[in-house]
Amino acid sequence: MDFSLSEEQLMIQNAARSFAQQQCLPGVIERDEKQQFPKQQIEELADLGFLGMMTPIQYGGAGMDTISYVLAMEEISKVDASVSVCMSVNNSLVCWGLDHYGTEQQKIKYLTPLAQGKKDGSIYIGAFLLSEPEAGSDATHQHTSAVDNGDHFILNGVKNWITNGSSASVYLVMAQTDASKGPKGINAFIVEKNTPGITIGPKENKMGIRGSDTHAISFSDVVVPKENQIGADGFGFTFAMKTLNGGRIGIAAQALGIASGAYELALAYSKQRKSFGKPIYEHQAIQFKLAEMATRIQTARLLCYQSAWEKDNGLDYTLSAAMAKLHASDTAMWVTTEAVQVHGGYGFVKEFHVERLMRDAKITQIYEGTSEIQKMVIGRSITR
């Protein structure tokens, strides 16, 4: 067993760290406050090749492994989780899904600019439309319909909580083509955002990741050409689940980054802040908190690496991805709360970053499958 990172992986980690410190840190508090989409940062991510990290070079990607993706996600999430969620959705849910299940024509037309993150000089990213007002955790009960109408489908319905909802150019939409078949009657479609009949709702006013643009999206008689269906008839739910398995590694790495960002801030503060005549890290009450933070973060990191390694080696990573997401997101919530505590009153104000990290941590226990769904996936897997 080898725990060392390759030279290339270390290079990616360093590049992501510099990007986070130089491009994301300035203005992160204001972007959060104003709910401002990090457009400039996303453009720079595209230039770095971080929007299609695992996509083969021939389709506009960087052709890297999943470990490199985890490393980059951790570094960027330490500073700005609104940037990293956009990156995660485009990489794991959109590009990976198209790369593995798209046709050659779909890969040339859509995957290539999506992995490059740009088309004709403008941002070109994607979104993943599975959740609905009445189908969140219970994702098999899709109400959005896709009716076969000769050479095209007609989509009607509403999707919600869509990350990149207004900034994406391409949507991957799950819809029910035959309700009598249940999950086997669901299909996945590539839908261009500017197709007539699509309405984007207002930006959600969120507790955390406030810079990312989250919207409800409605479809009213939206015409989707048959060549935009992904995979064979009835493959849509399996497509969503298989894609989400990888997405969960990305969100686990995001949670890991939020936790390690908060830990690093708490550690630095504990060395600088004095009470009762010594730096506070010398008090056992604080040192035990730091020790437990470091330990929980390292276990989350190892789970992320294991799952990424399994994915890169062609093994089934459903279980490890669910475990990584469950543990890393709980770690993020616990560590950020403790980091605020270490900062005392300063942790409760915006200038010190940890309060934002604590707010950002919460969503990692909810999206791409709640912690309860991860326990279902783990429970089913270990009892099978």
The residues of the shown chain that bind ligand CAA, judged by CB under 6 A, are: 89, 128, 130-131, 137, 139-140, 162-163, 183, 237-238, 241-242, 244-245, 318, 367-369, 373, 376-377
- Nearest alpha carbon to residue 25 among 380, 366, 376, 356: 356
Q: Least separation, in Å, of the C-beta of 195 and ligand CAA?
A: 20
24/130 with CB nearer ligand CAA: 130
Q: Least separation, in Å, of the C-beta of 238 and ligand CAA?
A: 6
User: Which residues contact residue 47 at a Cβ distance below 8 angstroms, ignoring those fewer than 6 apart?
Assistant: none
* CA atoms of 18 and 12, how far apart (whole Å): 10
DSSP codes, 83-141: HHHHHHIIIIIIIHHHHHH--HHHIIIIIHHHHHTEETTEE--EEEE--BTTBSS-TT-
Give the angle subtended at the CA of 305 by the CAs of 303 and 306, to the nearest 5°.
65
Both tokens assigned to 372:
């309860």
* CA atoms of 163 and 366, how far apart (whole Å): 13
Q: Least separation, in Å, of the C-beta of 162 and ligand CAA?
A: 6
- Nearest alpha carbon to residue 117 among 109, 107, 125, 105: 125
Q: List Cα–Cα distances, 301 to 67, 213, 372, in angstroms.
A: 11, 27, 21
Contact 128, 89 (CB under 8 A): yes
Q: Least separation, in Å, of the C-beta of 131 and ligand CAA?
A: 5
259/373 with CB nearer ligand CAA: 373
Active site residues: 368
* CA atoms of 71 and 248, how far apart (whole Å): 15
236/347 with CB nearer ligand CAA: 236
User: Which residues contact residue 260 at a Cβ distance below 8 angstroms, ignoring those fewer than 6 apart?
Assistant: 74, 78, 297, 301
* CA atoms of 186 and 182, how far apart (whole Å): 7
Q: Least separation, in Å, of the C-beta of 242 and ligand CAA?
A: 5
99/368 with CB nearer ligand CAA: 368
Give the torsion sign (CA, 7, 15, 17, 58): negative
131/177 with CB nearer ligand CAA: 131
Give the torsion sign (CA, 52, 301, 359, 353): negative
* CA atoms of 257 and 21, how far apart (whole Å): 13
159/296 with CB nearer ligand CAA: 159
* Torsion angle defined by CA atoms of residues 58, 99, 300 and 9, in that order, rounded to the nearest 10 degrees: -10
**SS3 state at 377:** helix
